[in-house]
Amino acid sequence: MYNSPYLRQNTSVRRVMVTVLVAMLPAIAVQVWLFGIGLLLQIALASATALACEAAMLSMRRRPVARALGDGSALVTAWLIAVCLPPLLPWWMIVIGTSFAIIIGKHLYGGLGQNPFNPAMLAYCVLIISFPALMSQWPGLQGSDPATQLHWVLGGERALDAVTGATPLDALRTGLLGNADVSAVMQSAAFGHVAGAGWEWVALAWGAGGLLLLALRIITWHIPVAFLGAMALVSGVAWLIDPSHYASPAFHLLAGGTMLGAFFIATDPVSGATTPRGKLIFAAGIALIAWLIRAFGAYPDGIAFAVLLLNICVPLIDIKTQPPVFGHKVEPPDGGAR
Amino acid sequence: MLSKLFSFNGGVKPDPNKSLSTREPIARLALPPQLVIPLHQHIGGTPRPLVHVGDKVLRGQRIGAADGNVSSAVHAPTSGHVVAIEPRPMPHASGLSSPAVVIEPDGLDAAIEREPFDWHAAAPGEIRDFLRDAGVVGLGGAVFPSHLKLNPGKSGHTDTLVINGAECEPFITCDDMLMRAEPENILRGALIMQRMLAAKQVLVALEDNKPEAAAALKAAAQSLGHASLEVVVVPTRYPAGGAKQLIRVLTGIEVPHGSRSTDYGVQCFNVATALAVWRALEHGEPLTRRIVTVTGNVERPRNFDVAIGTPISHLFAAAGLKPDTDKLIMGGPMMGIPLPNIDAPVVKATNCLLASSPALFAPPEPELPCIRCGECARACPADLQPFELYWHSRARNFGRAQEYKLFDCIECGCCAYVCPSHIPLVDYYRYAKSEIWARERDKDAADSARERFEFRNWRADREKEEKAAKLAARNAAKPAVKPTDGSAPAADVAPSAGDDPMKALIEAAMARARAQKEAVAAKNTDALTPAQQAQIDAAEERRKRASELSGSNAPAE
Amino acid sequence: MITALIVMAGLALVLGATLGAASVLFRTQGDPLVDKIDAILPQTQCGQCGYPGCKPYATAIAGGEADINQCPPGGDEGVRKLADLLGREYKPLNAEHGIEKPKSVAVIDEATCIGCTLCIQACPVDAIVGAAKQMHTIVADLCTGCELCVPPCPADCIDMVPVAETVENWKWRYPVFELKVQPATLPAKEAA
Ligand code: SF4
Ligand code: SF4
Ligand code: SF4
Ligand code: SF4
């Protein structure tokens, strides 16, 4: 039995999720081109783990497995985990991270739509806290041959010097710790035009995917604009005050996970704020905390932690930013009937 | 000249599907063998029946009188005989029955003689009473008695009178066709309303997907030549035809839930209501017919001019219901209600009858959990957060749902239309609203019961005191006589009487009753509402009739 | 160290005294708890709880003399609300006091009524009108369905009729939420 409306727009959760996956493709392509096929192995592994965990959890919770698997939400989580992690991690790390995200981050809270934390970021944080060394090894830009990559993914011995391609954020942190100033660090080989060789392209590809999501009305402008705006603002102010210790806004916007975070991670509807003003506050908060962690914290990139911190605040933000309801925006005439 | 249109947030643009039923002009449908005219067709009190079974009625004869001022009369649409006054299935989602007058037309269609009424000379109050007794109610679907809205209120005047021809729901075209057919009369009705409301301007608004109707209205407005009357074409976006949304589009004013728009200097009527007002006042014709769109899964979709009380099956027969129809809907596909019974009659609220088939309106995909995507909030014309309402309604947390302004929801269905999780959101709101109403009813009943219980206890105490005082006085006068308590001897007698304990009990009761007769009869009927008083009066009536009958020993009528 | 102890002890004393004074000064008048409990009780006034009406039962609950599961007309929901209000554990309705029934109203068979007024005296909310030797009638809107008028009637002419659903009081049903595939087979799980 169902009642009006009898007309429904042709839309579904599955459609939304598949669109997100499609929008991730450009950036994935650029990363593969830069760092080799390691990322593809990682995506495949994460996807398989996510689907298996999802199916297991659903059947344990006695929910219809096929229907919920088909919604694609587990795949989005898996892909986000895969692109956040450095490529060529040993397989068991991917498995641990993904199953943590799906089992603990999602289903223990009640499954799709109920999780207060972004599951992908939860997985990232768990991994970076547990395995900080492995998590900071990004492969060199030149890449290595697929066989070696496979060898590493399967958990084989790693020739450490072959994986020394530190990310620009890492390099900046190490450089600054070594008392070099920003411009000096930027001169080094790892840096391209702005934010590290190749990294600008990755960031721009994320941005392009994000614009696609905006154009298809999967996300609204609030979160990306507030995120990037706040990031530019805080880093810009700091940079104007002391350019030798703080990197430029352009660097911050294009380095690390800024673009990915602004368009794909902070926009996760389930764990994010929902009201328009709430979204602005939520995203600006993430950007601010992420910059603070980058500038003063112990981890090179703080987006994941920032997202989780703001996830905690979401109920409060939502309650405080409820938009006025039709007819309740202004006082009624002569203070009258209310 | 209206220089600027406003807009409301949200809304959706479903496929209008209107051309289905606009190809053919309005057809006057022949009378069915039986008309079922429900007494309660509007918001407010249920009319009292004025006719008896077996009576002959004429077209336009009042068969139900308004019960109080917040009510409206009902009339016979043709001449014939009253064959029954009994509960009949209603065009309501419940499929339950309500009292109705069943008339068998005699085919003569003889009209009742009209009392002349010169509305030009009448005072506004008299016109309102006349409209109430002519059964004019809002024909856009809300069926609120129109005479109540035709009152400018304290200020004595109104800024804007909105005549709503927007008709934003897909499939429905009854207003469209009416505007094409009788534009002058609609506008004349609007001008009468303008006079009653002392309105500065009249805006006749319709969506831009009805160019023919707009042209007809504009031409009619020109020929009437009233400077304060304007035909406004608004952009097509569902639900632009919702009264609040249309007022917002035309004037920028947002009327909150629970306030009257007159307080904001605006009043809004449907085009068909304007026509009904004109017919009632100019021709003395009460509201007994209306235009109904029959569309969807039928062979010959079109608009019919039908007598109110015509069984819905009669309309579908005329339009040719297709065999694969899986459900019937009264209203449009966005806000319509399911019709469990095809024999229910057309009522004043019936604007459209829609036959659905699995191909036309596919059953929704299974519901998934809400992903808080906010699509619904973006589509909501009332600026609500539908997913929060859903969340709290589903958890039966009605207090919280009301905090999120559940009652501001107009049940337009935009949120459910866009929801990617296919959640029947509006069903949850309807459920929550009717639960809250039920609880309020229960609470009112409990409060009144508590009051009456406390009053009764107080009275019992007082009586005891009075009795004690009387007893003391009597004892002082005649100290030898022991007062007899009615029930004590009865208890002694009952077992010994054996053969007839009932009689003993009754005697005991009577004895006690005599003692308390006055007190009881008079005092427990204090503080009754008019409705309760009416019920008591009815009982007294029955009682009188029963005693008359037993007195004369005549058989029952 | 000693200063700290003294400061802390002094602070505790002052705060304690303030709290004590406040509780004396601002003591609430009457007993709002009884009223709060009474507001939850359905006011059927049937006495099934073992008290002569809802208010006395409310007083008894507030006084700790009665349990919260003795009011059948209030039903399961009533017990839950009381448990919520009083911060007590929910418990199912005590069957000794009766079971929850759909709401009914009393109807007097007007042909059989002998006008004895016994039911009038029994009705706790004055829902019956009539005078001696005349037919009595129940005002359905006022009747709480307590059934107290049924036993005293010597002519046995009072029936309890469940309140029928009408177009006016009909309620939309809770939408079916069919996410669970099969009913949880808990016993099997426990056995395993
Ligand atoms: S549109 Fe549906 S899924 Fe999205 S927030 Fe609203 S109710 Fe939830
Ligand atoms: S049905 Fe209610 S909540 Fe949903 S869009 Fe319409 S007004 Fe908003
Ligand atoms: S059992 Fe009857 S008298 Fe007692 S509280 Fe419940 S309704 Fe009131
Ligand atoms: S009429 Fe009978 S059942 Fe109804 S409240 Fe009075 S005593 Fe109770």
Higher-pLDDT residue of A159 and A130 is A130
Higher-pLDDT residue of B130 and C166 is B130
Among B414, B419, B423, which residue has the most ligand 2 atoms within 8 Å of its CB, making it the best to mutate? B414
Strand partners, B433: none
Please say whether the beta carbons of B241 and B207 come within 8 A.
yes
| Spatial distance between the Cα atoms of B419 and B426, rounded to a whole number of angstroms | 11
- The reply to whether A73 falls in a domain is yes
| Spatial distance between the Cα atoms of A105 and C158, rounded to a whole number of angstroms | 62
Task: State whether C79 and C106 are in the same domain.
Answer: no
| Spatial distance between the Cα atoms of A301 and A303, rounded to a whole number of angstroms | 6
Q: Which residues of C touch B528 (CB under 8 A)?
A: 139
State in Å: Cα A304 to ligand 1 middle.
25
Is the pLDDT at A208 greater than 70? The verdict is yes
pLDDT grade for B552, boundaries at 50, 70 and 90: very low
Nearest to B29 by CA among B329, B473, B345: B345
- Give the distance, in angstroms, between the CA of residue B267 and the centroid of all CA atoms in the same chain: 19
- The reply to whether C5 falls in a domain is no
The secondary structure of residue A334, as a DSSP letter, is G
Contact (CB<8Å) C131/B521: yes
| Spatial distance between the Cα atoms of A156 and A154, rounded to a whole number of angstroms | 6
- How close is the nearest chain C Cα to the Cα of B230, in Å? 40
Any residues with CB less than 8 A from the CB of A59 and at least 6 apart, and which? A65
Please say whether the beta carbons of A92 and A42 come within 8 A.
no
Is the pLDDT at A70 greater than 50? The verdict is yes
Tell me the two tokens of residue C14. 């002052």
Task: State whether C86 and C44 are in the same domain.
Answer: yes
Interface residue C181 vs chain A (CB under 8 A): yes
Task: State whether A75 and A107 are in the same domain.
Answer: yes
Any residues with CB less than 8 A from the CB of A150 and at least 6 apart, and which? A41
Structural element, H or E, at residue B269: strand B266-270
Q: Which ipTM did the prediction report?
A: 0.85
Residue ranges of chain C with per-residue pLDDT less than 70: 1-5, 7-8, 11, 15, 18-19, 22-31, 177-192
Interface residue C189 vs chain A (CB under 8 A): no
Q: C-alpha angle with apex B193: B192 to B195, nearest 5 degrees? A: 65
Tell me the two tokens of residue A315. 């109920």
pLDDT digits (tens, 9 = 90+) for B173-194: 999 999 999 999 999 999 999 9
Higher-pLDDT residue of A3 and B315 is B315
Buried b / exposed e across A109-121, counting CB within 10 Å, b at 16+? eebbbbbebbbbb
DSSP B197-264: HTEEEEEEEEETT-HHHHHHHHHHHHHHT-TTEEEEEE---BTTTSHHHHHHHHH-----TTS-GGGG
State in Å: Cα C117 to ligand 4 middle.
13
User: What pLDDT shows up at residue B509?
Assistant: 57
Of A104, A134, A165, the residue at which a domain comes to its end is A165
Is the pLDDT at A184 greater than 70? The verdict is no
- The reply to whether A4 falls in a domain is no
Is the pLDDT at B521 greater than 50? The verdict is no
What strand order describes the sheet that includes B62-65? B48-49, B62-65, B74-75
- The reply to whether A279 falls in a domain is yes
Neighbours of A33 (CB within 10 A): 15
Three-class secondary structure of residue B305 per DSSP: strand
Task: State whether C107 and C88 are in the same domain.
Answer: no
Q: How far is CA A337 from CA B70, B155, B265, B269, B323, in A?
A: 20, 14, 13, 21, 51
Task: State whether C83 and C37 are in the same domain.
Answer: yes
The secondary structure of residue B545, as a DSSP letter, is H
Task: State whether A69 and A140 are in the same domain.
Answer: yes
Q: Which domains does chain B have, with CATH numbers?
A: 136-285 (3.40.50.11540), 364-477 (no CATH), 479-521 (no CATH)
Structural element, H or E, at residue B414: helix B414-418
Three-class secondary structure of residue A235 per DSSP: helix
Of C46, C75, C97, the residue at which a domain comes to its end is C97
Of A109, A137, A165, the residue at which a domain comes to its end is A165
Contact (CB<8Å) C120/B524: yes
- The reply to whether A243 falls in a domain is yes
- The reply to whether A122 falls in a domain is yes
DSSP A29-83: HHHHHHH-THHHHHHHHHHHHHHHHHHHHHHHTT--HHHHHTT-HHHHHHHHHHH
Domain of A103 in residue numbering reads as 36-165
Domain count, chain C: 2
Is the pLDDT at B277 greater than 90? The verdict is yes
Of C97, C119, C151, the residue at which a domain comes to its end is C97
Neighbours of B21 (CB within 10 A): 26
Task: State whether A147 and A200 are in the same domain.
Answer: no
- Give the distance, in angstroms, between the CA of residue B16 and the centroid of all CA atoms in the same chain: 27
DSSP B485-502: PSHHHHHHHHHHH-S-HH
Is the pLDDT at B226 greater than 90? The verdict is no
Task: State whether A208 and A338 are in the same domain.
Answer: yes
Of A165, A194, A218, the residue at which a domain comes to its end is A165
Pairing verdict, β B337-338 and B352-356:
unpaired
The secondary structure of residue C86, as a DSSP letter, is H
Q: How far is CA C36 from CA B215, B400, C39, in A?
A: 63, 20, 5
Relative to the alpha carbon of B423, which ligand is closest?
Answer: 1
Neighbours of A338 (CB within 10 A): 10
Return the residue matching tokens 């990294």.
Answer: A199
Task: State whether A154 and A188 are in the same domain.
Answer: no
- The reply to whether A318 falls in a domain is yes
- The reply to whether A19 falls in a domain is no
User: What pLDDT shows up at residue B496?
Assistant: 42
Helix B501-523 and helix B487-497: axis angle, to 10°?
A: 160
pLDDT digits (tens, 9 = 90+) for A234-286: 999 999 998 888 888 888 888 878 999 999 999 999 999 999 999 999 999 99
Nearest to C91 by CA among C66, C60, C70, C62: C70
Residue of C nearest to B502 (CA): C154
Task: State whether C77 and C121 are in the same domain.
Answer: no
| Spatial distance between the Cα atoms of A228 and A232, rounded to a whole number of angstroms | 6
Task: State whether A312 and A267 are in the same domain.
Answer: yes
Higher-pLDDT residue of A317 and A135 is A317
Domain of C157 in residue numbering reads as 102-164
Three-class secondary structure of residue A160 per DSSP: helix
Task: State whether A85 and A194 are in the same domain.
Answer: no
State in Å: Cα C71 to ligand 4 middle.
17
Tell me the two tokens of residue A116. 């207060």
For residues A189-211, give the mean pLDDT. Answer: 74
- How close is the nearest chain B Cα to the Cα of A81, in Å? 19
- Give the distance, in angstroms, between the CA of residue B72 and the centroid of all CA atoms in the same chain: 10
Task: State whether A132 and A77 are in the same domain.
Answer: yes
Asked if omega into B555 is within 30° of 0 (cis), the reply is no
Task: State whether C72 and C113 are in the same domain.
Answer: no
- The reply to whether C21 falls in a domain is no
**Which of B369, B438, B532 faces C169 most closely, judged by CB atoms?**
B438
pLDDT digits (tens, 9 = 90+) for B422-446: 999 999 999 999 999 999 988 998 9
- Give the distance, in angstroms, between the CA of residue C96 and the centroid of all CA atoms in the same chain: 16
| Spatial distance between the Cα atoms of B278 and B272, rounded to a whole number of angstroms | 10
Task: State whether C110 and C153 are in the same domain.
Answer: yes
Helix A119-130 and helix A303-320: axis angle, to 10°?
A: 140
Long-range residue pairs from A102-105, CB within 8 A, at least 24 positions apart, any chain: A102/A49, A102/A50, A102/A53, A102/A54, A102/A57, A102/A74, A102/A77, A103/A53, A103/A57, A105/A77
Tell me the two tokens of residue A39. 């990322």
Three-class secondary structure of residue B330 per DSSP: strand
User: What pLDDT shows up at residue C191?
Assistant: 37
- Amino acid at site B424: P
| Spatial distance between the Cα atoms of B158 and B124, rounded to a whole number of angstroms | 14
Of C55, C71, C97, the residue at which a domain comes to its end is C97
pLDDT grade for B497, boundaries at 50, 70 and 90: very low
Tell me the two tokens of residue B150. 């035709």
Domain count, chain A: 2
Exposed (0-12), middle (13-18) or buried (19+): which is B139, by Cβ within 10 Å?
Answer: buried
| Spatial distance between the Cα atoms of B344 and A181, rounded to a whole number of angstroms | 84
Exposed (0-12), middle (13-18) or buried (19+): which is B192, by Cβ within 10 Å?
Answer: buried
DSSP A267-290: T-TTTS--SHHHHHHHHHHHHHHH
Task: State whether A214 and A272 are in the same domain.
Answer: yes
Hey, of C172, C179, C186, which one would you mutate to test binding to chain A, going by the most A CBs within 10 A of its CB? C179
**Which residues form ligand 4's pocket by a CB distance below 6 Å?**
C 106, 122-123, 125, 127-128, 138, 143-149
Task: State whether A102 and A244 are in the same domain.
Answer: no
For residues B290-318, give the mean pLDDT. Answer: 94
Buried b / exposed e across A290-302, counting CB within 10 Å, b at 16+? bbebbbeeebbbb
Asked if omega into B424 is within 30° of 0 (cis), the reply is no
pLDDT grade for B522, boundaries at 50, 70 and 90: very low
| Spatial distance between the Cα atoms of B426 and B228, rounded to a whole number of angstroms | 39
Is B364's C-beta closer than 6 angstroms to any atom of ligand 1?
no
State in Å: Cα C170 to ligand 2 middle.
22
- The reply to whether C185 falls in a domain is no
- The reply to whether C22 falls in a domain is no
Indicate which CATH number applies to the domain containing C61.
Answer: 1.10.15.40
Indicate which CATH number applies to the domain containing C137.
Answer: 3.30.70.20
Contact (CB<8Å) A63/C180: yes
Is the pLDDT at B513 greater than 60? The verdict is no
Q: What percent of chain B clears pLDDT 70, i.e. is strictly above it?
A: 85
pLDDT grade for B362, boundaries at 50, 70 and 90: confident
| Spatial distance between the Cα atoms of B497 and B476, rounded to a whole number of angstroms | 36
Task: State whether A142 and A273 are in the same domain.
Answer: no
Task: State whether C87 and C143 are in the same domain.
Answer: no
Q: Considering only B237-246, B287-296, B510-519, C46-55, which range has the smallest mean pLDDT?
A: B510-519
Q: Considering only A25-39, A94-108, B195-209, B415-429, which range has the smallest mean pLDDT?
A: A25-39
Is B388's C-beta closer than 6 angstroms to any atom of ligand 1?
no
- The reply to whether C19 falls in a domain is no
Q: How far is CA B305 from CA A288, B27, B56, B135, B177, in A?
A: 66, 6, 24, 18, 11
State in Å: Cα C110 to ligand 3 middle.
28
Task: State whether A40 and A132 are in the same domain.
Answer: yes
User: What pLDDT shows up at residue A276?
Assistant: 93
Any residues with CB less than 8 A from the CB of A66 and at least 6 apart, and which? none
- The reply to whether A136 falls in a domain is yes
- Tell me the CA end-to-end span of chain B in Å, nearest whole number: 66
